[in-house]
């Protein structure tokens, strides 16, 4: 055989090896891209649910303040608003409201003062999977 023919025969399988290597690298890149998009999507969903949980907790705090003022300045220790009580996108959230009061004999002007400590906790989901919880607190003076 001529030297030219031997060198062609030695190079015959090189393109196949390069093609297989390229396919493996591209499939790994595609798998990484799919995983990355999935993680990003889950992060966006959890961020949205966290914002909704904060809105539900703030709504619960307003409901607790309204209950104190409506009930003649008395508050129940704990109230739970089950899922579905709030409307639209806040419907999946359970909201727990807690209230405690403390009366001071004098606010500096000789008038007795009552402080209400209000806390609202909104939560939804399954712990360890898609659980989201937010808690807000406030003081109401009367």
Residues 33, 54: Cα–Cα separation, whole Å = 32
Q: What is the pLDDT of residues 64-93, one digit of tens each?
A: 888 888 877 777 777 888 787 788 888 889
Sort 12 into a burial class: Cβ within 10 Å, 0-12 / 13-18 / 19+: exposed
Name 46's Cβ contacts closer than 8 Å, sequence gap at least 6.
130, 132
Q: Answer whether 118's CB lies under 8 Å from 65's CB.
A: yes
Give, in degrees to the nearest 5, the angle at Cα 133 between 127 and 138.
Answer: 155
Look at 4 and 22; give whichever has higher pLDDT.
22
pLDDT at 7 over 90: no
Domain boundaries, the chain: 3-141
CA torsion, points 70, 72, 75, 76, in degrees to nearest 10?
-80
How many C-beta atoms surround the C-beta of residue 116 within 10 A? 20
Q: Is 76 left (phi over 0), alpha (psi -120 to 50) or beta?
A: beta
90-52-88 Cα angle (round to 5): 25
pLDDT digits (tens, 9 = 90+) for 37-55: 888 888 888 889 899 999 9
* Percentage of residues of the chain with pLDDT beyond 90: 32
């Amino acid at each position: 055989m001529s030297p030219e023919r031997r060198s062609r025969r030695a190079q015959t399988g090189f393109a196949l090896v390069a093609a297989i290597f390229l396919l493996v690298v591209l499939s790994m890149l595609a798998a990484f891209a799919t995983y990355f998009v999935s993680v990003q999507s889950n992060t966006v969903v959890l961020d949205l649910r966290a914002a909704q949980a904060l809105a539900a907790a703030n709504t619960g705090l307003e409901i607790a303040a309204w209950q104190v003022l409506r009930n003649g300045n008395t508050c129940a220790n704990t109230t739970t608003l089950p899922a579905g009580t709030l409307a639209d996108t806040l419907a999946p959230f359970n909201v727990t409201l807690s209230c405690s009061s403390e009366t001071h004999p004098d606010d500096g002007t000789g008038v007795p003062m009552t402080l209400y400590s209000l806390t609202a906790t909104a939560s939804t989901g399954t712990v360890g999977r898609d659980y989201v919880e937010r808690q807000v607190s406030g003081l109401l003076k009367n």
